[in-house]
Amino acid sequence: MPKLLRHVLKLVGVLAVVAWSLVPIGLIALSSFKSDRDIFSTTGAFSFAPTLANYQALWSRWGDFFFGLWNSFLVTVGATLLAVGVSLLAGFAYSRFASRGLQASAFFLIFIRLIPPIVITLPLFPVVNWLGLNDTHFVLIVLYATFFVSLGTVVMRTFIDQIPRELDEAAMMDGASQFQIIMRVILPMAAQGMLAVSVFVIVYAWNEFLFAFIFTTTKAKTAPLVISEMIGAVEGVEWGVLFAASTVQLVPVLAFVILMQKHLVAGLTAGAVKG
Amino acid sequence: MTTRTPLSAIALVTPVQLMIGGIIFLPAIYVFWLSLNQSSFGQAATFVGLANYAKVLADPYFWKALLNTVIVVAIVVHVELLIGLGMALFFASGVPLRALLLAIVLAPYAVSEVSAVVMWRFLFEPDVGMMSRLLATIGLPPIEWAVNPSHGLAMVSLLSIWLHLPFSFIILYAARLSIPSDLYEAASIDGASAWTSFRRITLPLLMPALLIAALFRYIFAFRLFSEVWLMTGGGPARSTEVMAVYLYLEAFRYNAFGSAAATGWLLVLASLLLALFYLRRLYKEMFARA
């Protein structure tokens, strides 16, 4: 193939990839700064007078949304701490010990990922109501963490496998307990793995819809749920305000994913290759 | 392999096992029991055997939802793997500003299903959306996702592919990067064409990763709920429901817990069936290793 043609084809490929990934995101972020008239104007996406009117309207009329963001934040932090903590402990056990029982329980970890979340809402819904836990942060924290501990454990185990056992043994000689070994030796060296697991849980918990939709109504309502109400709220969607809300919800998690790109890739490959 | 498990190991895995056992496994078993009973909120259950299954299997809406699910899953997973493979090879052939481009490709991973629905609905908003206008300009018929069921499902598929492409891409790209480059050098010395080295080197060595990505995506695509719920709500006239939406409506709108549970258990069985081969291999590997 002639060199020039190669370059042109490559450029077309790059442009296609960028357009596919960024046009939907960029369009709503850009349109959130447009007046209602400019949003659907046909004179080109970039010719408009920027305005903060949509953000002001969001602030004054959809206070619920910012409350939802706060709930999302609390739930995300809780679920991440819980999932990373228990995955670290289990990942250590699966990396350092081997027995028939442990193998069986590791198999169970992977097997459990086959059960679709919606199935377990049937029995959990009445139980959660009965316990008075409906519409609490606690329910979402536990559910979100639970659905990521099996992947989390597999990823942690892959990372801990790479830490030399001699380090544990040396610490054990010095009289450290199992828990002290995890906290002092493993934890600092497994930080990469913990970051990889956090990326999964944070993105999932921040964006999740199904459980939030079923288990929360007002007090623990998360941001995606409020946005979904905005889609369905009035006939004839208020696009501008909706774009402002979507942008505010997206920006922190998008920045986080880009920042954590390396860990996300490492976690995805570790998790998928090993199960 | 030792048969005894050290106490400290048991203590360390207990939190994880309690969480998945108590919150996923036991409820799933309970769903099976529910599926054999007639019950609703605040009512005592009565045993009805397989009546719920018979009822579900006689419901045309169930078959409609199953068919929709199978179609959407087939389209989404295969198109996604194809684009993901193409992109992985494209990236491996060398692209300018690789790190930046990688970040751009990963961006949809950060987007919530809710926001993605907002984006794609806006792009395809009848008459005024950017894509609707583009289609009109090049003389193609509009996508009437709100009124035409097959268009609605097409939108759902498009949206799912967009959201999950980063996952398939990363799996395939990582696998492609782990193929040693001297294989390609040797092939080119032997005079192999680009197509031949793709057929003889790339494809066979990528096969395990392709199968893993396909398996994960089949299983997860089968659970599809939010995209459909937020895009079409299953309408018009229940024509775009998928399995999870059907289950949700049975349980939470029609209060038919028995048939919802039967549907749920059928979903679990379908997942198990899809993964049977993989589970068997994994089981053998795990017990062979330790």
Concatenating the DSSP letter of every residue in A7-31 gives HHHHHHHHHHHHHHHHHHHHHHHHH
Q: Quick one: angle between helices B113-123 and A3-31, nearest 10?
A: 100
Class of B36-289 in CATH:
mainly alpha
Give the residue from B161, B269, B158 showing the smallest Cα distance to B217. Answer: B161
Q: Chain A: residue nearest B278 by CA?
A: A275
Domain count for chain A, please give it. 1
Examine residue A254 and state whether it is found in any structural domain, yes or no: yes
Examine residue A200 and state whether it is found in any structural domain, yes or no: yes
Alpha carbon distances (Å) from A186 to A95, A102, A253, A265, B180: 11, 20, 28, 22, 32
Query: Residue A194: which domain range?
Result: 61-273
pLDDT per residue over B63-100, tens digit each? 999 999 999 999 999 999 999 999 999 999 888 888 89
Q: What CATH number is given to the structural domain containing A151?
A: 1.10.3720.10
Beta bridge partners of B37: B47
The answer to whether the CB atoms of B122 and A28 lie below 8 A apart is: yes
Residues of B in contact with A43 (CB under 8 A): none
Residues with Cβ within 8 Å of B156's Cβ and at least 6 positions away in sequence, in order, are B72, B224, B227, B228, B231, B232, B240
pLDDT per residue over A156-214, tens digit each? 999 999 999 999 889 988 888 888 999 889 999 999 899 999 999 999 999 999 999 99
Beta bridge partners of A54: none
CA distance A110 to B20: 10
pLDDT per residue over B271-288, tens digit each? 888 888 777 877 777 666
Beta bridge partners of B47: B37
Minimum-distance CB partner of A14 among B3, B28, B95:
B95
Mean of the pLDDT values across residues B195-209?
89
Residue with more model confidence, B278 or A16: A16
Residue of A94, A103, A119 for testing the chain B interface, max B β-carbons within 10 Å? A119
DSSP class of residue A113?
G
Region class of B40: left (phi > 0), else alpha (psi between -120 and 50), else beta: beta
DSSP class of residue B236?
S
Give the residue from A213, A211, A222, A205 showing the smallest Cα distance to A256. Answer: A205
Residues of A in contact with B171 (CB under 8 A): 268-269, 272
Total-model pTM: 0.92
Structure tokens at B72: 């959407």
pLDDT per residue over A199-232, tens digit each? 999 999 999 999 999 999 999 999 999 999 998 7
CA distance B80 to B160: 9
Residues of A in contact with B279 (CB under 8 A): 110-111
Residue B241: exposure state from Cβ atoms within 10 A (0-12, 13-18, ≥19): buried
Does the pLDDT value for residue A73 go beyond 90? yes
Alpha carbon distances (Å) from B276 to A48, A56, A114, B273: 55, 53, 10, 5
Residue A131: the pLDDT is 93
The answer to whether the CB atoms of A24 and B272 lie below 8 A apart is: no
Cis omega (within 30 of 0) for bond into B60: no
| Summary mean pLDDT of chain A | 90
Examine residue A169 and state whether it is found in any structural domain, yes or no: yes
The answer to whether the CB atoms of A123 and B34 lie below 8 A apart is: yes
Give the closest-approach CA distance of B243 to chain A in angstroms.
10
CA distance B136 to B142: 7
B5 confidence band (pLDDT: 50, 70, 90): confident
Residues of A in contact with B160 (CB under 8 A): none
Examine residue A11 and state whether it is found in any structural domain, yes or no: no
Residue A233: the pLDDT is 67
The answer to whether the CB atoms of B111 and A207 lie below 8 A apart is: yes
CA distance B272 to A78: 31
| Summary mean pLDDT of chain B | 89
Examine residue A141 and state whether it is found in any structural domain, yes or no: yes
Examine residue A155 and state whether it is found in any structural domain, yes or no: yes
Mean of the pLDDT values across residues A20-29?
93
Least confident among A11-25, A117-131, B142-156:
B142-156
DSSP class of residue A46?
T
pLDDT per residue over B220-279, tens digit each? 999 999 999 999 888 888 899 999 999 999 999 988 888 999 999 999 998 888 888 777
Does the pLDDT value for residue B146 go beyond 90? no
Does the pLDDT value for residue A273 go beyond 60? no
pLDDT per residue over A94-138, tens digit each? 999 988 899 899 989 988 988 999 999 998 998 999 999 999 999
Give the residue from B278, B279, B277, B251 showing the smallest Cα distance to B264. Answer: B251
ipTM reported for the complex, 2 dp? 0.91
Q: pLDDT > 90: what percent of chain B?
A: 49
Examine residue A233 and state whether it is found in any structural domain, yes or no: yes
Residues with Cβ within 8 Å of A177's Cβ and at least 6 positions away in sequence, in order, are none
Beta bridge partners of B46: B38
Give the closest-approach CA distance of B58 to chain A in angstroms.
21
CA distance B141 to B139: 7
Q: Please, what sign has the CA dihedral across residues A264, A268, A269, A270?
A: positive
Residue B119: the pLDDT is 93
Residue B113: the pLDDT is 95
Does the pLDDT value for residue B3 go beyond 80? no
Residues of A in contact with B162 (CB under 8 A): 20, 24
Residues of A in contact with B247 (CB under 8 A): 118-119, 122
Taking one residue from A and the other from B, the number of pairs with CB-CB distance under 8 angstroms is: 276
Residue A275: the pLDDT is 41
CA distance A180 to B112: 39
pLDDT per residue over A243-267, tens digit each? 999 999 999 999 999 999 888 888 8
Examine residue A119 and state whether it is found in any structural domain, yes or no: yes
Alpha carbon distances (Å) from A154 to A267, B168, B258: 10, 19, 35
What's CA A222's distance to the chain center, in Å? 13
The answer to whether the CB atoms of B115 and A250 lie below 8 A apart is: yes
